[in-house]
Structure 1
Amino acid sequence: MTFSVLQGEYAIRRYPSEAALMPNLSAFEFACVSKSPGEATYICPADALAPEGWQAKEKGWRILKIKGPFSFEVVGVLAQASAILAAAGVSIFAVSTFDTDYLLVKEKSLAEACDALKKGGHEVSR
């Protein structure tokens, strides 16, 4: 697999599930919103002007994009990458889109994550 590191620091924010969507999501290279009955989770650049009312926020995330697209029949993409990172002691927050997968790792673990993926036989571009 081929990974690329997206530029910049990202934050993960938790909002109440009834929170309005952030209006400027299309302005970012990467942004993600997921909603469940109990919460709404936003992932966007750490310095983005996010709506008030967040309940929790964690900054300091970097994003590794797995080069896609992958068809839905491809098995084990996330499993393989997450196993390598788990063996290296790197915690992840995974997000999938229609075409590919993204792995968020803490800034302090980025170099270790990239090294582990390279040792696992994968390409990583920064």
Structure 2
Amino acid sequence: MTVQLLLNALPGTYAESRRAPEKGVPDWASGPGLVSATQAPDETSILCLADRVPDGVETSGGWQAVQVSNLVDLDVPGVVLAAVRPISEVGLGVFVTSTFDRDYLLVRAAQQRAAQAAWIMAGHSYLDGGLTLRLAGPQENETVAALHFRVWQEAYAKIAPPEVRLALNMVRRTAYWRDRLASGAQAVVVERDGELIGLCALSECAGEIEHLYVARAARGAGLGRQLLQLGQAISHQRGAQQVTLAVVRDNAPAVAFYAACGGDVIAECQDKGPLWLSDNLIYGWSLPA
């Protein structure tokens, strides 16, 4: 059985602390956020927000808590496996705690983007601060095309030749995304209040980001950088050692953004057309081995 999960990142950084069994559950554990106390014969273990743990307590900090928001019966099989397997397969550690209604996963906060990438590519949806990140479905070709069309036309209104902007219309963009999504190609989209506001799509080549777009109304809050990091994490999990992305040389805002994100110009080329022989800069980011 394939289980598709809705994963919700909880705010704050968590810590798992250990106390002697005779000391029981301390008062400092109580408060906002996720709290889990397990008393065993040989220890008492406390999970709570890290800023409540006093000095001198044996603790492991730096954890991100993620709620499995699906409501399922306690004996429904496959839920924890569906959540744990994707991140385990890419080499990330995780521990799980559960309440009566839900399961919670703890991953290292420093590895949050890598875990997010693994979950999304496994077909799960990831909620983060009011945004839902997920794979686009084949039936969404028109909505994905609408975002692509709108952002591209805004970015290149004064750069691309008029005949090119006219040719790259909604009909053409919709046909492109219909064929691409129907073929099984994966594109990560970002949704807010039911509206698509972001897009990141990699090519079949593991380390090439072909599309990265953020709606004008959603800019300035770090979404573009988040999508770039997500593309880098996906590429790394596919075995790539470098991520590349092409941008038209005259697109000054995009050039400044990718440079600010640590990209280096590793090549220059002319687009092969046939519509527009634009001069492009190829930005590259090295990935860890």
Q: Same fold (TM over 0.5)?
A: yes
User: In the alignment, which of 86, 92, 95 is matched to residue 94 of structure 2?
Assistant: 92
Structure 1 residues 24 and 57: alpha-carbon distance in aligned structure 2, compared to 1, 3 A threshold: closer
Tell me the distance in 1 between the aligned counterparts of 2:90 and 2:60: 22
Residue 8 (structure 1) aligned with residue 32 (structure 2): no
User: In the alignment, which of 42, 49, 58 is matched to residue 45 of structure 1?
Assistant: 49
Please name the residue that 2:114 is paired with: 112
| Equivalent residues in 2 for 1:1-80, closer than 5 Å | 1-50=5-54, 54=57, 56-80=58-82
Residue 102 (structure 1) aligned with residue 108 (structure 2): no
Whether the aligned pair in 2 keeps the contact of 1:15 and 1:53 (CA below 8 Å) is: no
Tell me the distance in 2 between the aligned counterparts of 1:24 and 1:15: 13
What is the deviation of 1:93? 1.0
Structure with bigger gyration radius:
2
Please name the residue that 1:82 is paired with: 84
Give the 3-state SS of the residue equivalent to 1:103 in structure 2.
strand
Give the 3-state SS of the residue equivalent to 2:91 in structure 1.
coil
Which 4+ runs in 1 deviate beyond 3 A? none
> Greater relative contact order (Cα 8 A, min sep 6): structure 1 or 2?
1
RMSD (CA atoms): 1.5
Structure 1 gap segments, 5+ residues each: none
Tell me the distance in 2 between the aligned counterparts of 1:124 and 1:58: 25
More helix by share: 2
What is the deviation of 1:53? 6.5
Tell me the distance in 2 between the aligned counterparts of 1:118 and 1:64: 13
Whether the aligned pair in 1 keeps the contact of 2:29 and 2:52 (CA below 8 Å) is: no
| TM-score, normalised via structure 2 length | 0.41
Tell me the distance in 2 between the aligned counterparts of 1:81 and 1:68: 11
What is the deviation of 1:26? 4.4
| TM-score, normalised via structure 1 length | 0.91
Give the 3-state SS of the residue equivalent to 1:59 in structure 2.
strand
Tell me the distance in 1 between the aligned counterparts of 2:53 and 2:81: 34
* TM-superposition CA deviations, 1:6-63 (whole Å, max 9, x none): 001011101001113222544222111001000000001110154x763x21110001
Please name the residue that 2:142 is paired with: none
Tell me the distance in 1 between the aligned counterparts of 2:60 and 2:53: 15
